[in-house]
A and B are shown apart, each in its own frame.
Chain A
Amino acid sequence: MTSIGTKARHFVLEQPIWIFVVLCVVVFSLSSEHFLDIDNFKNILVQTSTIGLIALGLTFVMINGNIDLSVGAVVALAACLAVDLQTLGIFPAVLIGLASGVLLGALNGLIVWKTGVDAFIVTLGAMIGVRGLVFVYTEEQSFFATDFAYADFGISSVAGIPTLGLIFLAFALLMHCILSYTVHGRNIFAVGGNRQAAIDAGIRVGPHIVINFMLTGFFAALAGITLSTQMGAATPNLGRDFELWAITAVVLGGTKLTGGAGSIVGTFGGVVAIGVLRNGMNLLQVPSFYVLVIMGTILIAVLFIDKQVSRNKEQELKV
């Protein structure tokens, strides 16, 4: 029994965001009769799946000590390609959309690796440039899905659970396993935690960086495509600010901006926290601009509390 107790305590210390999620659920359940409802939870799951998918890839990149700001633009690019190219058939169009994300990710990764320019700068450039490409490609037009099967997919369910939600959950589980149980996952922590040590230990840092950027590109593209299936359309402005929400979710989940620490379980908590908060405040009819103010405040507050908690831990160790 004690081991369960200490495990629970350990979990709470490592994943403080889940306390916040539970708190939010309790508060919103008490204050809105519509909140505690299966359909509402399905709704939250679908709403969060877009940011969630991006955050999965971003977690890898951030644990590795880098960042990817271009994900929002990749969302738009992949969505536009997948919707516009449906004349080739849905399947090839989706594949092309995904490939565009993976390729751009590889490009980001290679530039970061080979030139040594900071990932923040490289992907900031990519964020601006790719968004430009999207506008060039679309000529500022929105595309609508011609094949109804595409939009139907976005609202479909499997065994009562929304398909898009299931996709997110399945990929979250997969990414968790990769991060926790594979050599690649372990090496990401090493590179982010102490790059020199990793190099000295003979770990080839570059390929890990590139793989992670490719993963992030893939997930951003996937998020763009799932989002466009929800709307049955793609617009060149799709995915604006998504990079900021995804980073927020990842950081809320306990991943360090400097790298070396983080988890998919935490990121999942961060994504859910944002989703629950948005949904709950919506139900309480908080004006949307105030929602932003509250979210910003909460981000800083959660990280402040996290810092206090870990500082206490450090002091305990010293004495």
Chain B
Amino acid sequence: MSDIKPIENYGIHTAKDQPVLVLENITKTFPPAVTALDQVSFGIRKGEVHALCGENGAGKSTLMKVLAGIHQADGGQIFLEGRPVTLAGPMDAKHQGVLLIHQELSLVPEMTVAENIYLGNLPRKWPSRVDTKKLYADADAILKRLKCNFSARDKVSKLSIAKKHMVEIARALVFTPKIVVFDEPTASLTDTEKHVLFEVIRDLKSQGVAIAYISHRMDEIFALSDRITVLRDGNFRGTVDTNNTSEDEITRMMIGRSLEKTRNVAAGTFGEKVLEVKDLSCAGLFQEISFSIRKGEVVGMYGLVGAGRTEIAETLFGLREPTQGEILLDGESVTINSPTEAVRYGLALVPENRKEQGLVLGMSCRDNITLANLAAVTDGGVLKQSKELEIYDKYAEQLAIKSPSWAQRVGNLSGGNQQKVVIGKWLATHPKVLILDEPTRGIDVGSKSEIHKLIRELAKSGYAVLVISSEMPEVLGVSDRILALKDGRINGEFLDSEVTEDDLVKAISFDNASVQRAS
């Protein structure tokens, strides 16, 4: 380990530079033929935040599950504080000081915060009663340490997602953690909540706890971490000091090539207005939303979680009833009462949560694509295989869906390809307006730019596209025009060719940012 240079920027002494955890040649295969991890080796030091990067499927989560005792490695050795250990199960790992904060929250909603914190480890009185007094006192003490403003007696189902994350972290502190593993902790957090989480992480770090941090988000990795380890296809690609590297270098290590930035072609001439929204309001959610989209144009809607973006999309799609305002399609005022009507009017909504709202995971690619427009593939009420295949082939080619065959279960595809199937499903309904809500959430970097390119191409071929996103590079990358949303109002409208990142941040953060009308 002598080749690891001490990190100076936050003054850790040499004694502390001893890695608290070392992984040596960890291999994990899932029969029949998936090698999730292939001889991965690296070390995490005491009091450091060690980021773990890689595309989806690179093996990050598997590695962390091996660490947390959920999976057992097929080969290799884990060393904790210099001693070789086996982590036989989640409880064993916890007792040895390795704690995983789950990506999908692993809480029991109907139980209280304290019961969740001590789940599987409840304090007991004779003969096997729960020591309720101790339970709540101890839990409250931990919550206080984390500066949480909720009670240990609250039911978990009533907490916000951020608070649920705090409960997960609180759970880790029951044990004396040597290493805490965070798996995509910010995926569903707002900016403020994120900062609270970062503070907690830095606090843990200053107490000498080693942190392993998995994330897709470069800005977070660079803001938090001391070192970065990159995995690709289950292989270890290298560990670098955060201070001596750049986003480009990490990206290159992750995908083996550089990403080209798709900055948009100058706003061309668009067709006529396809969708126009006038003073649309929904009490308590958004107010006086007015905008329009032309044929061939991509409009980005940018704002924080909770700014009302998804709700606007849902209202357009007939899932919510507006309290006031007007929706015009091709210049005609329409009332959309249900998704069925929305589809008939030529709207398509690619939802935020593709696994829950967009796909039937157990069905084949072909069946998912024809799902929203079965009328087109039936003959007198009978499904025609040949027509179905025809439609599948058409969109598989147009969208470059990578699937071994049409019969492949959608659940087995990668996130990017799943998203393409959802888009294909909607294109098959021949829409005029395509609304995409967070089109690249949970999709790895490589596929992301592919989806972005696809969105540009779709616009070029004549769709009017609305892209809702909370990621600035995405909005900047795909839009011709950007609407900035704050607290349910449009707080700024910019042409992509003129806007700066600064403008956008101001427009979603401050109430009286200058509202520019760009159209």
CB-defined contacts of B132 to chain A, threshold 8 Å: 181
Contact assessment for B119 and A197 in the assembled complex, using a CB-CB cutoff below 8 Å: yes
Min CB distance, A67 to chain B, in Å? 18
Q: A183-B122, A184-B128, A189-B111 are in contact. Are A197 and B106 (CB under 8 A)?
A: yes
Partner of A200, one of B70, B122, B128, B130: B70
Give the top 8 A-B pairs by smallest Cβ distance, nearest first: A202-B91, A201-B120, A193-B108, A201-B119, A197-B106, A202-B120, A203-B120, A194-B108
Q: Show 7 residue pairs from A and B whose CB-CB distance is below 8 angstroms, ordered by the A residue.
A: A190-B120, A200-B90, A201-B120, A202-B92, A202-B121, A203-B119, A261-B110
Q: Which residue of B has the minimal Cβ distance to A185?
A: B130
Asked whether A307 is an interface residue with its Cβ less than 8 Å from the other chain, the reply is: no
Contacts of A317 in B (CB 8 A): 158
13 new A-B contacts at CB < 8 Å, known A190-B111, A190-B120, A319-B284? A183-B122, A183-B128, A185-B130, A187-B122, A189-B108, A196-B106, A197-B116, A197-B119, A198-B119, A200-B106, A202-B121, A203-B119, A203-B120
**Which residues of A sit under 8 angstroms from B83, Cβ to Cβ?**
none
A residues in contact with B140, CB < 8 Å: none
Question: Which residues of the other chain, A, contact B90 by a CB distance below 8 angstroms?
Answer: 199-202
Residues 69-82 of chain A, each 1 if its beta carbon lies under 8 Å from chain B, else 0 = 00000000000000
CB of A194 within 8 A of CB of B107, answer yes
Assess whether A200 is in contact with B102, with CB atoms less than 8 Å apart.
yes
CB-based contact A182/B128 at 8 Å: yes
**Most A C-beta atoms less than 10 A away, residue of B116, B129, B284:** B129
Task: State how many angstroms separate the Cβ of A185 from the closest Cβ of chain B.
Answer: 8
In the docked arrangement, what's the CA distance between A190 and B115, Å?
9
Q: Is A260 an interface position by the 8 A CB rule?
A: yes
Expressed in whole angstroms, the Cα–Cα distance for A128 and B32 within the complex equals: 39
Residue from the set A187, A197, A261 with the largest chain B CB neighbour count within 10 Å: A197
Can you list, as one digit per residue, whether each of B51-76 has a CB less than 8 Å from chain A (1) or not (0)?
A: 00000000000000000001000000
* Minimum CB–CB distance for A103 against chain B, Å: 23
Pair A260/B284 contact, Cβ less than 8 Å = no
| A7 interfacial by beta-carbon distance below 8 Å | no
- Distance in angstroms between the alpha carbons of A184 and B206 in the assembled complex: 38
Complex: chain B residue closest to A193, CB-CB: B108
Q: Is A186 part of the contact surface with B, judged by Cβ < 8 Å?
A: yes
Contact status B130-A181, CB under 8 Å: yes
A190 to B171, CA, bound (A): 15
Interface residue B208 (Cβ < 8 Å from any Cβ of A): no
CB distance from A296 to the nearest CB of B (A): 28
Seen from chain B, the residues whose Cβ lies within 8 Å of a Cβ on chain A are: 70, 89-92, 94, 100, 102, 106-111, 115-116, 119-122, 124, 128-130, 132, 158, 284
Q: Which residues of B contact A187 (CB under 8 A)?
A: 120, 122
Of all chain B residues, which has the CB nearest A194? B108
Contact residue among A183, A198, A202 (Cβ-Cβ distance under 8 Å from B94): A202
Which chain A residue has the least Cβ–Cβ distance from B160? Answer: A317
**Nearest CB in chain A to that of B125: its residue:** A181
A261 to B108, CA, bound (A): 10
Contact of A190 among B70, B94, B119 (CB under 8 A): B119
Closest to A262 in B: B110
Closest to B91 in A: A202
Is A181 a contact of B109 with CB atoms below 8 Å?
Answer: no
Contact (Cβ within 8 A) B109 A260 = yes
Contact bitstring A286-319, B, C-beta under 8 A = 1, else 0: 0000000000000000000000000000000101
Where the two chains meet, the residues of A that have a C-beta atom closer than 8 Å to any C-beta of B are 181-187, 189-190, 193-194, 196-203, 260-261, 317, 319
Residues of A within 8 A of B107 (CB): 194, 197
For B168, give the chain A residue with the smallest CB separation. A197
Taking the nearest CB of chain B, how far is it from the CB of A247, in angstroms? 20
A260, closest chain B residue (CB): B110
B220 to chain A minimum Cβ distance, whole angstroms, is 24
**Chain B residues whose CB sits within 8 angstroms of the CB of A202 once the complex forms:** 89-92, 94, 120-121
A78 to B94, CA, bound (A): 45
Expressed in whole angstroms, the minimum distance between the Cβ of B49 and any Cβ of chain A is: 23
Contacts of A197 in B (CB 8 A): 106-108, 116, 119
Known: A186-B130, A319-B284. A194 touches B120 (CB 8 A): no
Question: Given the interface contacts A181-B130, A200-B102, does A194 sit within 8 Å of B109 by beta carbon?
Answer: yes
* A113–chain B nearest beta-carbon distance, Å: 17
Q: What residues of B have a CB within 8 angstroms of the CB of A185 in the complex?
A: 130
* In-complex Cβ contact of B109 among A183, A193, A196, A319 (8 A): A193
CA separation between A187 and B129, bound complex, in Å? 12
What is the bound-complex CA distance between A197 and B102, given in angstroms? Answer: 10
Shortest CB-to-CB span from B488 to chain A, Å, is: 13
CB neighbours (8 Å) of A194 from chain B are 106-109
A186 cross-chain contacts in B, Cβ below 8 A: 111, 115, 122, 130
Q: Which residues of A contact B106 (CB under 8 A)?
A: 194, 196-197, 200-201
CB-CB under 8 A from B129, the residues of chain A are 181-183
B158 CB contacts on chain A under 8 angstroms: 317
Q: Closest B residue to A202 by CB, please name it.
A: B91
A106 to B102, CA, bound (A): 34
A260-B108 in contact (CB<8A): yes
Q: Name, among A181, A199, A201, A319, the residue most crowded by chain B CB atoms within 10 Å (CB to CB).
A: A201
CB proximity of B282 to chain A, nearest CB, Å: 12
A16 CB → nearest B CB, Å:
16
Partner of B108, one of A184, A198, A319: A198
Interface centre among B70, B110, B111, B128 (most CB of A within 10 A): B110
Q: How far is the CA of A185 from the CA of B130 in the complex (A)?
A: 9
What are the residues of chain A within 8 A of B119 when measuring CB–CB? 190, 197-198, 201, 203
Name the residue of chain B whose CB is nearest to the CB of A201. B120
A196 to B108, CA, bound (A): 9
Q: Which residue of B lies closest to A317 (CB)?
A: B158
Q: Which residues of B contact A181 (CB under 8 A)?
A: 129-130, 132
B121:A190 contact, CB within 8 angstroms: no
CA distance A203 to B116 in the complex (A): 12
A198 vs B109: C-alpha distance when bound (angstroms)? 12
A203 to B94, CA, bound (A): 13
Bound CA span A261–B132, Å:
19
Bound-state Cα–Cα, A186 to B135, Å: 12
Q: Does B91 lie within 8 Å of A190, measured CB to CB?
A: no
A183 and B120 CA atoms in complex are apart in Å by: 9
Pairwise interchain contact A183-B284, C-beta atoms closer than 8 A: no
Q: How far is the CA of A189 from the CA of B120 in the complex (A)?
A: 11
**Minimum distance in angstroms from A312 CB to a CB of chain B:** 14
Whole-angstrom distance from the CB of B138 to the nearest CB of chain A? Answer: 15
Report how far A194 CA is from B109 CA in the complex, Å. Answer: 8
The complex places the Cα of A198 from the Cα of B108 at a distance, in Å, of 8
A83 to chain B, nearest CB (A): 35
B297 to chain A, nearest CB (A): 33
Separation of A198 and B120 alpha carbons in the complex (Å): 7
Residue of A nearest to B132 (CB): A181
Bound-complex Cα distance A92 to B90 (A): 45
- Please name all residues of chain A whose beta carbon is closer than 8 Å to the beta carbon of B92 when the two chains form the complex: 202
In Å, the complex CA distance between A261 and B121 comes to 20
